[in-house]
Structure 1
């Protein structure tokens, strides 16, 4: 057993063999993007689960979204989730994580809208967050046509999508035009500053490396802006100085992930600001561990579903 995998949950070792073994970078970006697409393209065909998938473009914009909705539902509006995919800001599509999104629809009866935001480095900040806001505004304003309850909309983001979800919660609070009932942040990238990912000898050695993280932030912000004094909290939410008034939060982290320390720091700051916050750290797990079907991965996904159920007020449950 190598030093790299000696701390990994044994259930996750088969998945670890499928994880990236080198960092993302400019020279390999197109291959990396193709590999990300391939993960989901090679997945099993969608089951006959009664979920209706539609692709559309938000009216008046170029923002593409994928909607997943129950084929059969009653006349009452249902809650909705805006989903923001991962990929280090530089890769991924709205179909990332589709199997779990379909579970949200079938198990919670909610509508899921996944936003296909513009990717860096071709499009730098604020393109990504504005695309997310555009999709959210459409989901809210067209809620009646979508059969959605506009008072029960949550956002969930994974990795880079977690950064965008947290930034979106800040932007929604500050613009004052919409509302969210929950921000679900799954091992989110929150802080562009190099000190936030200082080596500790334990984290960041599997799947998501310091070099990948640095490349993602440089692609989003521009190399000269990373770590500087002028980075907006709508790009790197850890830069926000005031977290009061944000929607309740769920933060799911992995104990071996490069991002776990900044995830916990953000959670502590949310708590100190009076934001109801549920924090979960999966020990001996690495970035992206929930992609697989190991028991520990499935347990994590079930906990996310519980947090979403509570945050969306389904079956009378309250916010976390």
Structure 2
């Protein structure tokens, strides 16, 4: 496949991981099987990744738009900052149908330990049990809770960012859109290989050989969220951020995606629309990398530099 080859070190790491952690066969579109597989995979990902002792974790709660209770996981340095600090509202990955904060906690805590910036990770509700706008409303509720409790937590409300990876990146982007509508100014939206567009369901022939079941999984995930509305003209940007038509005055963005990720084109298109609207956006397309590459142990050589850049973005908030 000339021009599109997986990073050799990642290829070797992926092969070793799959050999040690063989995945059970599952039917395409089986969301509950995908959820179970994701749980098993992240248990293996984080098995050798310790929680930093210098990071504290406590669980708070708020209410979503429908008055449902939503848990908010507050990860903060155990030594308080001298003054008001920046903070990040985080949404985890999992296609909006899988995942939990606990599965991503070691990665979140590592960011807190490295940057000194506390994270509020939202335990948003999952589709298909809670479809439509529920997950996005939960994340936005977490953001508004942090804005309202910033002083108590020692947070500068002008230095709050939203961040997420994969589905969480899409939810973070939608939260930034809702924040603009609510008159809340964010310091940054940090979107790591974000799931932005419900229309990314038809395989790209150049990518299909290296992405496995990602296209069928993405279709099923969006079906779980949107049902028959997927791909129609009726999908709002507060669910699929790529549907936005007016990008003006959104928070400045940091976007990152691998060149072998099915979300590559929607991520680069999102950056271009931000630029055309006069919004600052920093885009990195990482050659030879697939979706979720940065969570796969052992970390490959490029991981150190990419991670350092993300930490620098957090420290600059």
Pairwise same-fold verdict (TM > 0.5): yes
Deviation at 1:36, TM superposition (A): 4.5
Deviation at 1:307, TM superposition (A): 2.2
CA-based RMSD of the aligned residues comes to 2.3
Q: Secondary structure at the match of 1:156?
A: strand
Deviation at 1:16, TM superposition (A): 2.0
Total equivalences in the alignment: 304
Partner of 2:311: 305
Q: Check the 8 A contact 1:84/1:164 in 2, yes or no.
A: yes
Partner of 1:245: 249
Of 166, 174, 178 in structure 2, the residue corresponding to residue 167 of structure 1 is 174
Which blocks of at least 5 consecutive residues in structure 1 are unaligned? Answer: 313-320
> 1:201 aligned to 2:206?
yes
Q: Check the 8 A contact 1:79/1:149 in 2, yes or no.
A: yes
Q: Check the 8 A contact 1:204/1:210 in 2, yes or no.
A: no
TM-score of the superposition, structure 1-length normalised?
A: 0.88
User: C-alpha distance in 2, partners of 1:216/1:272?
Assistant: 30
Correspondence list, 1:1-320, <5 A: 7-17=5-15, 18=17, 25-26=30-31, 28-39=33-44, 42-48=47-53, 50-58=54-62, 61-176=68-183, 178-194=184-200, 197-202=202-207, 205-206=210-211, 209-222=214-227, 224-292=228-296, 293-310=299-316, 312=317
Deviation at 1:261, TM superposition (A): 0.9
TM-score of the superposition, structure 2-length normalised?
A: 0.88
Q: Check the 8 A contact 2:35/2:97 in 1, yes or no.
A: no
Give CA-to-partner distance per residue, 1:227-285, whole Å, 9 cap, x none. Answer: 01100111111100000100000000101011101111111111011000000011000
Deviation at 1:57, TM superposition (A): 1.9
- 23-32 or 296-305, which moves further after superposition? 23-32
